[in-house]
Amino acid sequence: MNSIFYASIILLFVAVVLATGTVYEYWNSRHGPVARRVEARIRAASAGGQVNKERLSILKTRMMAESAWLTRLLLKIPRVHALDLFLQQSGLTWSVGRLAGTCAVLPPFVLIISASLAMPWLFSIGAAVLSALLPIVYVQRRRNRRIRQLERQLPDVCDMLARALRSGHAFTGALDMVGTEFAEPMAGEFRIVFDEINYGVSISDALTNLAIRVPIRDLRYFVIAVVIQRETGGNLAEVLDGITAMVRDRFKLFDKIRVLAAEGKLSAWVLGLLPFGVGAAMLAINPEFLNVLWQDPAGTKMLTMAGVGMLFGIVWMRHIVRIRV
CB 135 within 8 A of CB 99: yes
pLDDT at 131 over 80: yes
- Give the closest residue to 85 by CA, choosing from 63, 67, 55: 63
Out of 52-66, 178-192, 202-216, least confident range: 52-66
Confidence of residue 158 (pLDDT cuts 50, 70, 90): very high
Count of beta carbons in the 10 Å neighbourhood of residue 40? 16
pLDDT in tens, 71-129: 667 667 777 778 888 888 888 888 888 888 888 888 888 888 888 877 777 778 888 88
Q: What is the pLDDT of residue 274?
A: 86
Beta-carbon contacts of 59 under 8 Å, excluding residues fewer than 6 positions away, are 42, 45, 46, 49
| pLDDT of amino acid 64 | 63
Alpha-carbon distance 190 to 183, whole Å?
11
What's the rounded mean pLDDT across residues 187-209?
A: 89
325 pLDDT above the threshold of 80: no
157 pLDDT band, cuts 50/70/90, is very high
Range 229-250 average pLDDT:
87
Mean pLDDT, range 136-152, rounded to an integer: 92
Around Cβ 321, how many Cβ atoms within 10 Å?
17
Task: Compute the CA torsion angle 226, 234, 182, 215 (nearest 10 deg).
Answer: -20
Answer whether 168's CB lies under 8 Å from 150's CB. Answer: no
The pLDDT of residue 155: 92
Amino acid at 77: I
pLDDT of 40 = 64
Average pLDDT, the chain: 80
- Looking at residue 36, its pLDDT comes to 66
Say what the pLDDT of residue 154 is: 92
> Using an 8 Å Cβ cutoff, are 44 and 192 in contact?
yes
In terms of pLDDT, which residue wins out, 17 or 259? Answer: 259
How far is the C-alpha of 287 from the C-alpha of 24, rounded, in Å? 53
- The mean pLDDT of 203-225, rounded to a whole number, is 90
In sequence order, which residues have a C-beta less than 8 Å from that of residue 212 and are 6 or more positions away?
48, 50, 85
Report the pLDDT averaged over residues 175-201.
90
Which run of H or E residues covers position 300? helix 297-321
Instruction: Report long-range pairs for 119-128 (Cβ below 8 Å, ≥24 apart).
Output: 119/294, 120/294, 120/300, 122/300, 122/304, 123/294, 123/303
* Residues sharing a CB contact under 8 Å with residue 83, sequence separation 6 or more, in sequence order: 96, 99
Per-residue pLDDT, 34 = 64
59, 37, 35: which is closest to 47 by C-alpha? Answer: 59
Residue 49: pLDDT band by 50, 70, 90 thresholds? very low
Range with the poorest average pLDDT among 100-114, 135-149, 172-186, 288-302: 288-302
The whole-number pLDDT of residue 38 equals 64
Query: Cα dist. 51→45, 216, 288 in Å?
Result: 11, 18, 62
